[in-house]
Structure 1
Amino acid sequence: MLEYSLEDAKKLLTQNIAAATRNLGYVEHDLDFLRDQFTTTEVNMARVFNWDVKRRVAAKATAK
């Protein structure tokens, strides 16, 4: 078990809080990027689906 003086403990905890805050900023940035990627992927999937529906409708219309 470790024992710190009050000054050393305060210094260590301050450093830990600073590092945790910095890492939180990185994680939030990464989450924003991933949200954008999810949105882009969902839009692209919808566009491909709609294209396929139009293609099938056109193929069905020319088959008649």
Structure 2
Amino acid sequence: MLAYPIDEAVELLTEKLRAAEASFANCEEDLEFLREQITTLEVATARVYNWDVVQKRKEKEGKGEDGEGSKTGPGG
């Protein structure tokens, strides 16, 4: 274990505190950025899901119309 004079120890700890506070601020900025990205990803995923639901409905309606047309066609 190292021993420092009081003045030197205070100076060292003050520098370490400044570095830790700067690192903490960077972490908070990164966290905020990631939160925004998560929100963007969730919105994009919801849009793709909704688009897929609409496509499946269109496909289902298209098949339903084709099926009805063949049942009521000529001779039927």
**Given the two structures, how large is their TM-score scaled by the length of structure 1?**
0.97
Aligned equivalent of 1:44:
44
Q: Post-superposition shift, 1:54? A: 0.4
Alignment partners' CA distance in 2, 1:2 and 1:62: 80
Aligned equivalent of 1:55:
55
Aligned equivalent of 1:28:
28
Q: Post-superposition shift, 1:30? A: 0.5
Aligned residues: 64
Q: Post-superposition shift, 1:32? A: 0.6
**Given the two structures, how large is their TM-score scaled by the length of structure 2?**
0.82
1:7 aligns with 2:7: yes
Alignment partners' CA distance in 1, 2:62 and 2:2: 81
Can you give the 5+ residue segments of structure 1 that lack an aligned partner in the other structure? none
What letter matches 1:41 in structure 2?
A: L
- Residues 2-55 of structure 1: CA distance to partner in whole angstroms, max 9, x if unpaired? 000000010001001000000001000000110011000000000000000000
Percent identity between the aligned chains? Answer: 44
Q: Where does structure 1 differ by over 2 angstroms across 4 or more consecutive aligned residues?
A: none
CA RMSD of aligned residues (A): 0.5
